[in-house]
Amino acid sequence: MKTTLYKVLSLTAFIFIFSNSFAFAQVTSSSASGRNNNKPQEAEQAEAILNKISNDAGIYFKQGLLSLKDNRRSDTGEQFNKSVEVFLMSGVNVRASQKLQNCYSQLIETIYRIEFPSDAQQPQIRSLSATCGWNIENQLADDIAKIVKPASQSKPTADNSILASAVSGGSAQNPEAQIGFNDQKFEVSPLDELAKLELTPEEQQVEGDPVAQQQLQYAMVAVANKSLGFSFQVHPMIQQYINYYRGRGRSTMETGLYRSGMFMRMARRIFREEGVPENVAWLGQVESAWKPTALSWAAASGLWQFIPGTGARFGLRRTAYVDERNSFESATRASARYLKFLANRYNGNWELAMGAYNCGEGNVDRAIRRAGVANFWAAYPYLPQETRNYVPNILATILIANNPQSYGFGHVRPAPPLMYDQIRVPGSTGLNLVAQASDTSVQYLRYLNPELRTNVTPPEPYIIRVPAGKANEVVALFRRAPASKINNSNLANSAAGETWQTIANRTGVSVDQLMAANPGMAAPKGKVFVPQLGNNIQKTNYSRPATAASAAQTSSVKIVKAQAGDTVAKVAERAGANATEVAKFNGLLPNSVLPAGREIKIPSK
């Protein structure tokens, strides 16, 4: 059985509970020690058990370190969980052994320092290894210390030092330490393929192709009458990329035109507000195929593929909690401002501005100097290969997007605009609670908020996106509870006619605790806050019971703990009780599946 109390609690709450619990723990009495001395064989057996507990925990902890070194953060969290579970599931009183207690306490502290890096207190992996007697190499401990070192302690000498590293987790190459063991999920950027794209002879054929000639003439007219909102030189290579999209690149264009519907309305509005031609926003299709989590080989990220340095220049924060390069609105506005800056630099030449957006002002400036004229097609031979593909690709996309019927894409219907509400939540709010409040999933909230690097908002009041139409409901819920208690609660849906007692029966929380968590609510209505039992130390045992189902008698009920995979009916059968009565008493159904450790009340016969 792998599920324990530790899996139910958040790591922060868990560490607080257990570290404080051990702080007041006392070793066994001298009389107990005397009895052990009289039985050396039993003492040796007990010592062997304690050593096995420590060694098994060490194996899992080391596996967690190796996973972290490979940037497999979810695996890291799982292995660290198992390391702690060895102590909790052992049935041994950890406080009875000073060595085991020290090992356990340092393990909890070290995991916390790895998951939540800080300048003040670094994880002491070498010290933990020595205390517990674990075989963890010093090199591995030092590598992990570098990975979790906060950015303020790192001194990269140039922006290029962090360009080639993934940004979802910290590493020696990327000094940005990540909070938590949840990874941002990324998709491959289309720029990586664009850099290697080579047009075939058929695609390069323009003069002998009547359709291509007709489309080239349309492009010249569109530019001449300024219907696209800006001017550019119509070059045969633009038509060559149109040929590419008419053939083997058709699915790429169809996907881009479809996905553009989700973001193009927002992009046009922001570009217009920033004084950038709205059609230049089609640059987003070439940059990311409208995927907010696109990531290139050079660590360019988001809809607009900002590298870390350029993102910072235009106000995009990148911390252990958020990476605003993946934001919808913030990154779009930063992109428009960067493009406007580049257009001004090149006297309104949008081809050069687009080229510089791709490869940087320095490369474009050098190409212009070598060409002797500020003209993209004159500078073309001196630009990087990716940029040579990039600019005509965008111009081809703009032409197709503005007249899809003429280019054979009239059948593509853009996706509906991505709709959402925005609300302000307290600092360090868990997405699980927001998901419960807005009747959605954490996965969808991560989709709406791709800039979040973990399942927790930053430790400051933060504006988060929730499904459209849910803002008022979520805000009303959050106003009912003090901000200090928000993150120590879950939400439960109450049914019509339910009482606090029936909710208490099915949640395992007392009526008094429920009413305190929902002040001013005489009877449950709609969603109600349920305090997390893990934050009440009096209700938490530091050790795992020797048996999976333990019972505690009260004056009128018996309480048993469910095993993994149990239903109410199975628990009732083991207790010799009627399944229907037990289910009704706990506000559940007989076939309700229970998490391991869930307390079920059995009415006395």
Q: What does pLDDT average to in each consecutive run of 10 residues of the chain (605 residues)?
A: 34 37 35 49 80 92 91 81 77 75 84 71 88 93 84 36 27 45 65 82 87 88 89 92 92 92 95 96 94 83 90 90 93 96 96 94 95 95 92 95 92 91 90 89 90 89 93 88 71 85 85 87 88 43 29 55 82 85 71 74 76
| Phi, psi for 597 (deg, rounded to 5) | 90, -10
Task: Give 346's contacts (C-beta < 8 A, 6+ positions apart).
Answer: 352, 353, 356, 364, 374
Task: Give 427's contacts (C-beta < 8 A, 6+ positions apart).
Answer: 457, 458, 459, 460, 461, 462
pLDDT value at residue 258: 93
Look up residue 594 and give its amino acid.
L
422 forms beta bridges with 465
Question: Which conformational region is residue 237 in: left (phi greater than 0), alpha (psi within -120 to 50 degrees), or beta?
Answer: alpha
Look up residue 328 and give its amino acid.
F
Helix axes 40-69 and 30-37, enclosed angle (nearest 10): 110
Q: Does 202 qualify as catalytic in the annotation? A: no
Q: How many C-beta neighbours within 10 Å does residue 372 have?
A: 9
**How many angstroms separate the CA atoms of 217 and 125, rounded?**
68
Q: How far is CA 287 from CA 162, 194, 282, 536, in A?
A: 20, 9, 9, 50
pLDDT in tens, 233-291: 999 999 999 999 999 999 889 999 999 999 999 999 999 999 999 999 999 999 999 99
Biggest CA-to-CA distance, the chain? 102
Q: How many C-beta neighbours within 10 Å does residue 471 have?
A: 16
Task: Give 572's contacts (C-beta < 8 A, 6+ positions apart).
Answer: 578, 579, 581, 582, 583, 590, 602
SS3 349: coil
Kindly state the tokens that stand for 583.
């289910």
Sequential DSSP letters for 46-109: HHHHHHHHHHHHHHHHHHHHHHHHTT-HHHHHHHHHHHHHHHHTS---GGG-HHHHHHHHHHHH
Q: Is the dihedral of CA 366, 371, 374, 376 positive or negative?
A: negative
Residue 559 DSSP code: E
Q: How far is CA 358 from CA 14, 239, 351, 397, in A?
A: 47, 21, 11, 16
Active-site annotation holder among 78, 203, 287, 351: 287
**How many angstroms separate the CA atoms of 95 and 68, rounded?**
30
**How many angstroms separate the CA atoms of 595 and 436, rounded?**
18
**How many angstroms separate the CA atoms of 270 and 333, rounded?**
6
